[in-house]
Amino acid sequence: MKFTAQQIAEILNGEIVGNAEVEVNSLAKIEEGKKGDLCFLANEKYTPYIYTTKASIIIVNTSFISDTEITSTLIKVEDAYSSFSQLLELYNKMQFNEVGISKKADIDENCSIGDAVFVGAFTSICEGVTIGNNVKIHPNCYIGKNVTIGDNSIIYPNVSIYHNCKIGGNNIIHSGVVIGSDGFGFAPNAENNYDKISQIGNVIIGDDVEIGANTTIDRATMGSTKIGKGVKLDNLIQIAHNVEVGDHTVIAAQAGIAGSSKIGKNCMIGGQTAVSGHLTIADEVKIAGQSGIASSIKQVGKIVQGPMAFDIKDFQRSYIIFKKLPDLYRTVNTIKKQING
């Protein structure tokens, strides 16, 4: 599909410098741009490429002033990076704007399916499922009994959503995600073995959530595991039973949140971080990657780091000392020898 500079400028509310009728049909990096490509310039580091690129249209900040003639058509906007991201999202939606239900899909007759829905081959949708308008469910997915999926959500291949879970609108769920699997609940018995504790709750996910590939979110033992509005989860994350993640919190890859912990709103959690069970993390807390959280963080906006995480500045000062320990050890031994002379 082709777009003119005029059409793009109208979408972005931008100002055109050059030929308003020039057309593009693909997106590219500015250093690799060719005729028919749309690029952007937001980082000054890449400014030299604007004079050599063959791209047809380039999105730039309103503050950009050229040093010499530019052959490409420019669209000036307040924030080039944000505007290009907006176009990427639009482009992505157009790429996957399929409608229709595959004949190879298995859909129970007692389901409610909205308008403009796509269901791919070999996807199984069980009894009592409710699917909103414009939902896209790709091949090889499993949607369990009584699941609800809100409008405009995209579910990529090989996703499993267990029974009774509720998925909000405008969600993006990537391949390999499992939502509603049993929480890790076992009780020791008299024979020194473990009896399984049935997990009878569900998972509730708010609107505008994105869940990365191969992330798992366990159902609650009772009640609900809750993921708030606007939460962004990276790939390979484990969210345990009865966890609550507050609105607009972001969690990087390979993090693990143990059972019944409550994460506040607008938090940032680095990759490979481990949060112990039954803890409370306040709003706006930032946790550096590879940290271990063994106690609650009650101060709003606290920044922590470390294997047994504490205040990040204290940790960094301690780390400087830690690196000097061999020298300190040698100095202490030298002093001891002199004293014992």
The catalytic residue positions are 241
Spatial CB neighbours of 166, under 8 Å, sequence gap ≥ 6: 147, 148, 202, 203, 204, 205
Cα distance between residue 24 and residue 108, in whole Å: 43
| Sign of the torsion angle spanned by Cα atoms 332, 336, 337, 339 | positive
Spatial CB neighbours of 58, under 8 Å, sequence gap ≥ 6: 30, 33, 38, 39, 40, 41, 50, 70, 72, 73, 74, 75
Please state the φ and ψ torsions of residue 152, each to the nearest 5 degrees: 65, 15
Cα distance between residue 261 and residue 297, in whole Å: 11
Cα distance between residue 40 and residue 276, in whole Å: 43
Q: Are 87 and 102 in contact (CB under 8 A)?
A: no
Spatial CB neighbours of 18, under 8 Å, sequence gap ≥ 6: 5, 70, 72, 73, 74
C-alpha torsion angle, residues 95, 97, 101, 102 (rounded to 10): -10
Please state the φ and ψ torsions of residue 330, each to the nearest 5 degrees: -65, -40
